[in-house]
Amino acid sequence: MSTSHWFRHRLWRYSTRFLGFVVALCLLGALATFGVRWLVTSVGSAKHTRYEPVDVPPQKVSPRHQKEREEYERRERVLTEKSR
């Protein structure tokens, strides 16, 4: 066997390895594309929770909180009367 035969064999092996690398890289890119697409669609379709205040007073207020509320209301009345 001549030197050119070994050279061709080695060249064929490297070209096959290169083509395998290119195919693997393309498959990895395709998987990354599908992953990004899945993330974008899942975030876009997510239901965002919003805080909406409810104007319903609590059913039972403890006596301590009731006293604090009355104290704040009294202070507010005093401040508004002084500012007039």
- For 20-46, the pLDDT digits (tens) are 999 999 999 999 999 999 888 877 776
Domain coordinates in residue numbering, the chain? 1-46
Distances (CA, A) of 54 to 34, 51, 57, 58, 68: 42, 9, 8, 10, 22
Alpha carbons within 13 A on the beta-carbon side of 82: 6
pTM beyond 0.75, yes or no: no
Query: What average pLDDT does this structure show over 55-59?
Result: 69
- For 7-24, the pLDDT digits (tens) are 566 777 788 888 999 999
Q: What angle do CA 53, 55, 61 make, to 5 degrees?
A: 110
The runs of H, that is alpha helices, within the chain are 3-44, 63-83
